[in-house]
Chain A
Amino acid sequence: MIEILACNGAATVQDTGRPGFRHLGVPLSGALDGGLLHIANALVSNRPDAAAIELRLVGPRLRAEAATLISLAGAVDGRIEDAHGNSRVARAWASHRLGAGDTLILGAIRSGVAYLAIAGGIDVPRVLGSRSTYTRAQLGGFKGRQLAAGDRLDVLPSASQKIGDGETVAIELQLPNPPLFGASPLRVLAGPQQEYFTAQARARLVEDEFIVSPQADRMGLRLAGPRLEHDPRYGADIVSDGVTPGTIQVPADGNPIVLLADCQTIGGYPKIATVISADLPRLGHALPGQKLRFAEVSIEEAQAARRQATKALTETLASICPTNAEFNLDALYTANLIDGVIDAQQKN
């Protein structure tokens, strides 16, 4: 059992999503960055699709009622305090033992999104096959909503804790080389309604810079920047059809909206382009004020990028190893994590 003591950010229970129900209007949902969820789960020896806590903005403060193993994936600072007031750092990209009554205090989520996994996985009821939270319809997750102070989350039994003679053995693991988030433009495939836009609008999409507006949630990101004008012969309305996470739809005002995991299943605005699946996780990292650029690729390039992303994740997961020696924290953060994030924010 995990008790949320305080929660000022936007934390939800998420797993790999709820496919198979989009014809009923039920969105896919699930982790904004499925790769990070997979890493967080691997660090506590969970199945890849176990439910974890998706952290946005600022992480919560929580207490473990029984001894357990937790992990952090993403750029987030953590600290563990025990009942005697002793405090230790809980690094990201690693798992950490929590004793009964220990408190985990998490700071800002600098990667836009990060995951807190708990050995065994969060035990909320599966709704339509998934534990993911979809807040707009109060579906799934913990009571269909974001976590709040006072919530008590059950945890499923963990395989990793059954090793030994009835003893709880939880091996702390780490990821020596965390993934870089990269600053390159987000790759898109044109369409499906690119002909609804002027040639100038289509050029602006890939040449100009956009800024994530404050209207950004798990449904989508509204972007500010150059207006993408509709071809007057077509206008800004289509007879509604299917959309998907990554779709860039443009309403009459010309300001694009990039859809994310909780997006509706069908939309009535023309879609100028769709972010490819390999770059979708990075889209989930975007914070208000951040700059975004797009680059158009072919379907073949999109398919190759997806295979490459799958391969990179497999290699990352294979590099997870036990945490034994003391870590040189400064070197780790400087080399991989902080640089990657700042890089992304400056250049992206």
Chain B
Amino acid sequence: MKPRLLDLGDTALTLELGDKVDLALNARVLAARDTLGTVPGITDIVPSYRSLTVHFDPAILERHELAGQLLRAAEATPQNSALVTRWRIPVLYGGTHGPDLIEVARATGRSEEAVVEAFCSLELRVFMIGFLPGFPYLGELPDWLQLPRRSTPRTAVPPQSVAIAGAQAAIYPWQSPGGWHLLGRTPVRMFDLAFPERPALLAVGDSVQFTQIDTAEFERLSAAADAGELSREKLLAP
């Protein structure tokens, strides 16, 4: 697919590189972002699965000038992602914290333990952050684990719920409505202003592997998180 420039109103341009959820495509998006760099007049650069949306101030940066820079950035070659941060996110699965695990096991014809074990074996990529502050879109799930969204969304998904829908997994940083299947909950905060340099834990391009913890560990880590003593360094993959 040829790169396209799309006007999102008169204060944003979207560089569209494709229309799929695809690792190679997402890597091209990030390469375009890195190539664009810092340009006066750009206020926000938002990568998605397959496009880059650039918000700008037309009083400082002319649209046609930005358009030229974006089309040049579209040609950037993805670099090897040696700098990717690999995270291990602990999760308490099932029960009241993962009320849909039973249903997911039934729908996939596996035991709850087998679903958890398979889910924890995946290394998922952060394709984009959006919807809510710090909300990561992770992918891709294997075909057998891909389920349509719940027919009736929940009005209140508890914060820090780990959920799946289609080819994606996500962690809800805040209580919000949601139609994804809830597998469990993590004591880790996805968005924390106690880290002003990096309030969102995850960044696009990072990888995430989920681990399994028991109730006692969940409560211990939750208490540590409440006290501001849950170290992010300890979440890095060895």
Residues of A near any B CB (own CB < 8 A) = 19-28, 127-128, 134, 136-139, 189, 191-192, 238-244, 246-247, 264-266, 271, 274-277, 299, 302-303, 306, 310
Contact = CB atoms under 8 A, between A and B. Distances in A.
A25 B135 contact: yes
Nearest to B4: A192
B200 interface: yes
Contacts of B14: 192, 241-242
B192 to A, nearest CB: 11
A191 B53 CA distance: 14
Contact of A266 (B20, B43, B46, B176): B46
B8 A265 contact: no
6 contacts: A25-B134, A25-B200, A238-B19, A239-B48, A244-B9, A266-B128
B199 interface: yes
B88 interface: no
Contact of B9 (A19, A24, A276): A276
Nearest to B49: A239
B58 interface: yes
Interface in B1-42: 6-12, 14, 16, 19-21
A137 B133 contact: yes
Contact of B58 (A22, A127, A241, A306): A306
Given A137-B174, A242-B48, A303-B63, 16 more contacts: A20-B43, A21-B199, A24-B191, A25-B134, A25-B135, A128-B193, A137-B133, A191-B6, A192-B6, A238-B19, A239-B20, A240-B128, A242-B8, A242-B52, A275-B9, A303-B58
Given A240-B137, A241-B53, A23 B44 contact: yes
A50 B200 CA distance: 26
A276 B10 contact: yes
B58 A192 contact: no
Contact of B51 (A21, A28, A134, A241): A241
Contact of A244 (B12, B45, B52, B200): B12
Contacts, number: 133
A9 to B, nearest CB: 24
Interface bracket on B: 35 or more
Nearest to A266: B130
A25 B134 CA distance: 6
B131 A265 contact: yes
Nearest to A305: B10
Given A23-B45, A24-B199, A139 B133 contact: yes
Q: 7 nearest interchain CB pairs?
A: A242-B53, A266-B130, A192-B6, A274-B9, A22-B44, A302-B10, A19-B43
Given A137-B191, A244-B9, A244-B11, A23 B133 contact: no
Contacts of B55: 19, 22, 28, 244
B49 A22 contact: no
B178 to A, nearest CB: 13
Contacts of A299: 7, 10, 63
Nearest to A264: B131
B132 interface: yes
Given A23-B45, A189-B10, A239-B20, A310 B59 contact: yes
A116 B112 CA distance: 55
A21 B132 CA distance: 11
Given A23-B44, A242-B48, A306 B130 contact: no
Contacts of B47: 23
